[in-house]
Chains A and B, each alone.
Chain A
Amino acid sequence: IVGLGWFGMQTVTLIPGDGIGPEISSAVMKIFEAAKAPIRWEERNVTAIKGPGGRWMIPPDAKESMDRNKIGLKGPLKTPIAAGHPSMNLLLRKTFDLYANVRPCISIEGYKTPYTNVDLVTIRENTEGEYSGIEHVIVEGVVQSIKLITEDASRRIAEYAFEYARNNQRSSVTAVHKANIMRMSDGLFLRKCREVAEGYKDIKFTEMYLDTVCLNMVQDPTQFDVLVMPNLYGDILSDLCAGLIGGLGVTPSGNIGANGVAIFESVHGTAPDIAGLDMANPTALLLSAVMMLRHMGLHDYGNKIQTACFDTIRDKKVLTKDLGGNSKCSEFTADICRRIQDLD
């Protein structure tokens, strides 16, 4: 937990992003102001620049701000196809060693999907696994991709998963794997999870095959609590769970790094077709900001904002287009601010 800054306010690095990023970021700032949350925002841009030595890096002022504040909130970033620089998300991940991607998926009352009462969290290892990017062409027509699993990374993610479960009053952690086929790699991951589970006897630990999880998830998602898994399975499962509650437009996400750094983000795209038209839905970024408040220990503010947001959606009077209504983003935001002030 970071220490309180000057005037009791905590500074958070805000990265508005591209496309609809700036409008949803300002919506979140307005809502935080209405809730009187003790957050001071420091806006930074993270468009990649070429540093000395020719390597792509994020601008030094952005890095310095994050290192100082430790907590960040990020909007959607676009990765231009022929820019030459790698994906911005990848760059941020490497710069701050963001090893855990946490996605809580909670059914939103008022936004109906075929699945109800979903309440699970996917914790995905974010640095290695199938996304190590190591590929070779052995001979013409044969390609080999390397999936890397290391003891340290597996232990680190398992420890984070159990810590998260303990801090958020979760009762069980399930490791998702395919150790029947990938005996050594997923076997190592599983062994580390088992070892860490020994130190957390208050939390139930189970293991399940990836295919069984998928099968059961679409039939009865209420049976799952916290899921921890390597990179690829995490990517697929976290998007599957996002689909259960209504898509990427309403799903929060957080990336936890070494040295206490945490960046919370919305995982949807930049939606360039509706950028600047006041039509965007700020729910995903708002819920990620709520996750951030909880991470910082400011649970009261987090609960207040989340309740106001869910109430607005449940009421169905001022919904944005993607949620089924035809109100503007500013109207949606204003309604949430009004509810927060009423709650006080």
Chain B
Amino acid sequence: MINYIYIYIYNTLVTTYRLISMQLITYEMLMLQPPPAKYGGRHTVTLIPGDGIGPELLNHVKEVFRFSCVPVDFEVVHVNSALESEDDINNAITAIRRNGVALKGNIETNHTMAPSVKSRNNLLRTSLDLYANVMHCQSLPGVQTRHKNIDIMIIRENTEGEYSSLEHESVSGVVECLKIITRNNSLRIADYAFRLAREKGRSRVTAVHKANIMKLGDGLFLQCCREVASGYPDITFDSMIVDNTTMQLVSKPQQFDVMVMPNLYGNVVSNVCAGLVGGPGLVPGANYGRDYAVFETATRNTGKSIAGRNIANPTAMLLAGCMMLDHLRLYDYASMIRNAILTTMNETRLHTADIGGQGTTSEVVQSIMRNIQSKGPLTTDL
């Protein structure tokens, strides 16, 4: 009887401590529930083609999914980046709120237009509060790179920091841009990073910052990371200044395990890491919020110069599709397609031009589908 009382008191204390120290973070966030399947076991996912190579790559994703009989239907929403009105992107956001999950290409931002026309991608991320951008960079055996054995997970705060889009010109010729760092968002992203590290069995989390110069802003971020780290004694926590980080990444990238950082440094570090493992065509990225998830390529390029020429690398977008299937709990389909992609990359070694090969996009996709057919249980005709 006494034991039960002790356990009860202990549980209450633990819960209270967590509630107090985590402020707005609730237990709901520990498990991001994917939306329930609708209409006879088939999921509906919003698809935003975007600009540049987005439309063609997403067509290939649809092709591969249809071929493998994946129970996902795509609701396509077009966003015209040339228009000044925000109706298109608002429609896309509503569709994502309805479906819960999206797969998107990058929407171009024409910066010759007035500054009031904000980046559509950024608008999407902030409206849906997709606070965590997760990218997993792994060296692939079939791709020639200068550095080997890289395995870094990058978790980047996705909604605030330098991307707050708050700017004003108080005096003519003097522009101020605000970088906002809040305690809530910093705690939230740090907690996400540590939880993910624990889930994936990672041993070390590194916070990337510039707190020696931005003492209050990045200082707050670092302090929040330290607070969260104290709740995860099994995971080592250290910090590194961003310029030293980039220097270390190009000389010894194998030293990094999991990295967490605010928005802009995340942009730099994720692009450096993508370049280290073979380029923008290989790495998928995911944006997670409390209620929604949006999947895309990690480096978010429009690829205008290679659009329409059948030379883009479909790997990143297809792997993003697999991440989406994992999120929808369609694990078998995800592994089947992912294995086919990796076999084509590492064994068949059919590469597109960006990683030094001569294959076209369609050839690579065909090879992936052939691979699925030889291993998978049920497919449509090739």
| Bound Cα distance A114, B264 (Å) | 26
Tell me the chain A residues, 248-282 only, with Cβ under 8 Å from chain B. Answer: 248
Are B175 and A148 closer than 8 Å at their CB atoms?
Answer: yes
Residues in chain A near residue B250, CB distance under 8 A: 114-115, 218, 240, 243-244
Q: Which of A152, A218, A232 contacts B264 (CB 8 A)?
A: A232
Give every chain A residue within 8 A of B248 (Cβ-Cβ).
243
Mask: chain B, 168-204; 1 = CB below 8 Å from A; 0 = not = 1100011111111111100000000000000000000
Q: Assess the A144–B177 pair: CB atoms within 8 A.
A: no
Q: Is A141 a contact partner of B115 (Cβ separation < 8 A)? A: no
Q: Cα distance A183–B264 when bound, in Å?
A: 15
In the complex, whether B60 has a CB less than 8 A from a CB of chain A is no
Q: List which B229-255 residues lie within 8 A (CB) of chain A.
A: 242-244, 246-251
Contact with B along A216-228 (1 / 0, CB 8 A): 1111000000000
Asked if residues B174 and A148 are in contact (CB atoms below 8 Å), the reply is yes
Are B175 and A179 neighbours in the complex by a CB distance under 8 Å? Answer: no
Q: Determine if A187 and B111 form an interchain contact, defined as CB atoms under 8 angstroms apart.
A: yes
Check: B122 CB closer than 8 A to any chain A CB.
yes
Give chain A nearest CB distance to B109 CB in angstroms: 4
A248 to B162, CA, bound (A): 28
Q: How far is the CA of A187 from the CA of B168 in the complex (A)?
A: 12
Contact A147 B177 (CB under 8 A): yes
Tell me if A28 is interfacial: C-beta within 8 Å of chain B.
Answer: no
Give every chain B residue within 8 A of A152 (Cβ-Cβ): 173
Interface size class of A (residues with CB under 8 A): 35 or more
Contact yes or no, B268 A182, CB < 8 A: no
- Pair B173/A147 contact, Cβ less than 8 Å: no
User: Out of B111, B251, B275, which one reaches A217, CB within 8 Å?
Assistant: B275
Contact of A130 among B111, B214, B299 (CB under 8 A): B214
Q: Is the CB of A145 within 8 A of B251?
A: no
Judge whether A145 and B173 touch: CB under 8 Å: no
Question: Is B213 an interface residue when CB atoms closer than 8 A count as contact?
Answer: yes
Of the 9-residue stretches A35-43, A94-102, A207-215, which lies at the interface with chain B? A207-215
Q: Which residues of B contact A337 (CB under 8 A)?
A: none
Question: Which among A147, A151, A188, A236 is the interface contact of B242 at CB below 8 angstroms?
Answer: A236
Residues of B participating in the A interface, judged by any CB pair closer than 8 Å: 109, 111, 115, 117-119, 122, 146-147, 162-163, 165, 167-169, 173-184, 210, 213-217, 220, 242-244, 246-251, 264-265, 267-268, 270-272, 274-276, 279-280, 299-301
Nearest first, the 6 closest Cβ-Cβ pairs linking A and B are A141-B183, A243-B247, A218-B275, A151-B173, A183-B115, A239-B243
List A residues at the B interface (Cβ < 8 Å).
113-115, 130-131, 133, 135-137, 140-152, 178-185, 187-188, 190, 210-212, 214-219, 232, 235-240, 242-244, 247-248
Known contacts A181-B165, A215-B299; 12 further A-B pairs (Cβ under 8 A): A113-B251, A140-B183, A144-B178, A178-B162, A183-B167, A188-B175, A215-B275, A218-B272, A235-B243, A236-B265, A242-B247, A243-B248
Contact sample, A vs B, 26 pairs, CB 8 Å cutoff: A114-B250, A115-B146, A131-B213, A135-B216, A143-B180, A143-B220, A144-B178, A145-B181, A145-B214, A147-B179, A150-B173, A182-B165, A182-B167, A182-B177, A183-B165, A190-B111, A211-B270, A211-B299, A215-B271, A215-B301, A218-B276, A219-B279, A236-B243, A236-B268, A240-B246, A240-B250
